[in-house]
Amino acid sequence: METVIAGPSLERHYSRRTGVALRLPEIAARAASGEAAALGTLERLSSKFGEAIAALINILDPDAIVIGGGVGNLDILYGEGTREAIRRHLFNPELRTELLRPTLGDSAGVFGAAMLVR
């Protein structure tokens, strides 16, 4: 997943398509304004994320998945397009797993590491 849908990977994908190096939030802003390359980058995220998460759901059948990292801040991951991408790869055609934003934001991993030391 890191090589395809992590923030730096998506930024490289966009840069290869446009020749312009931007951070993921800037790409998302351009997608919101309708830029084709930015929209394509986020559609790639939605599609590949759906494929990857479906594999986890097929194996583990979780009630919920908390999406962390900077990519987890993008609204597209919680929308119907991503849910449809997940459904295309599920063994069960009904998607019951909730996709949740981390309540601690991007710092959830840091808080968890600190608690382990404690």
pLDDT higher than 80, residue 14: yes
**Whole-number average pLDDT of the chain:** 92
In angstroms and rounded to an integer, the radius of gyration of the C-alpha atoms of the chain is: 15
**Which residue spans within the chain are E strands per DSSP?**
64-66, 98-100
Average pLDDT over residues 20-43: 97
Average pLDDT over residues 57-79: 91
Find the domain containing 46 and state its range: 2-117
Q: How many CB atoms lie within 10 A of CB 42?
A: 23
| End-to-end CA separation in angstroms for the chain | 30
The Cα–Cα gap between 14 and 6 comes to 12
pLDDT higher than 90, residue 31: yes
The Cα–Cα gap between 89 and 96 comes to 14
Q: What percent of the chain has pLDDT over 70?
A: 99
Which pLDDT value is given to residue 114? Answer: 87
Average pLDDT over residues 76-99: 93
Q: How many domains does the chain have?
A: 1
- Minimum mean pLDDT among 11-15, 94-98, 114-118: which range? 114-118
pTM of the predicted protein model: 0.84
Q: For residue 106, what is the domain's CATH number?
A: 3.30.420.40
pLDDT higher than 80, residue 71: yes
Average pLDDT over residues 87-106: 89
Average pLDDT over residues 31-58: 96
